[in-house]
Amino acid sequence: MNNRSIIITIVVILLVIAGFNIAQTKEDESFSSYVDKDGKITRPTDFKEEWTFLGTWTLPDNEDDGMHIVYTQPGVIEEYRQNGGEFPDGAILIKEVRSIKSQAMTTGPKVIHAENQKLWFVMVKDEKNRFPDNPKWGDGWGWALYYADDPSKDVSTNYKKDCLGCHVPAKLTDFVYVEGYPVLKK
């Protein structure tokens, strides 16, 4: 192997590495790996181990669905703060709803913790109104609902019917009850 062929080999290796990086960047720039070209939303499955906890809503008198636990992707909290309090395009909120158990503990006579998972609500921030003809998208978000007995199936049909009823009271904060997520404030 002479000088020239060694140099050519090194240049080829560098170009291949650069090519991989460009391909990777392009993939990262797509809207969301959880949304297909028609706006179908796939439920995230790795959020409990990999994502960031936002906050909990506890309904102490509802054993069936008494703990609502909300997560978002890594980095979203920082972007939210930098954006002056707006969720970035592509941000996902997933709310896991679990049954609860109440018991006496050393900390108090009634202490509640989460038990079985029941369902998940998903919201995907969409600043560009990407799916105007899809009834699961609107008001700046994509909306989805999955039950634990078939956790990959979005059973929502129309966000205005299935989701807005509960979210309209939070319209002024982009339909999100941010007062339950004090971590958003720094």
Rounded distance between C-alpha atoms, residue 121 and residue 109, angstroms: 31
Rounded distance between C-alpha atoms, residue 75 and residue 91, angstroms: 9
Residues 47-86, interacting with a second copy (CB under 8 A): 48-50, 52-53, 55-62, 65, 67-69, 71, 74, 77-78
Q: H helices of 95-170, where?
A: 159-162, 164-167
* 169 touches a second copy by CB under 8 A: yes
Which CB sits closer to a second copy, 10 or 15? Answer: 10
Largest CA distance in the chain: 81
In the complex, minimum distance from the CB of residue 156 to a second copy, in angstroms, rounded to a whole number? 16
In the complex, minimum distance from the CB of residue 142 to a second copy, in angstroms, rounded to a whole number? 20
Q: Which residue has the tokens 């240049």?
A: 11
Asked if 99 contacts 118 with a C-beta cutoff of 8 angstroms, the reply is: yes
Residues in contact with a second copy, shown as a per-residue x/- string from 125 to 164 under the rule CB under 8 A: ----------------------------------------
In the complex, minimum distance from the CB of residue 37 to a second copy, in angstroms, rounded to a whole number? 32
SS3 167: helix
For a second copy, which stretch binds (CB under 8 A), given 14-22, 113-121, 122-130, 143-151?
Answer: 113-121
User: How many CA atoms lie less than 13 Å away from 126 in the CB half-sphere?
Assistant: 22
Q: Which two tokens stand for residue 52?
A: 């960031």
Residues lying near a second copy in the complex (CB under 8 A) are found at 1-3, 6-7, 48-50, 52-53, 55-62, 65, 67-69, 71, 74, 77-78, 98, 101, 105-117, 165-166, 169, 177, 179-180, 182-183
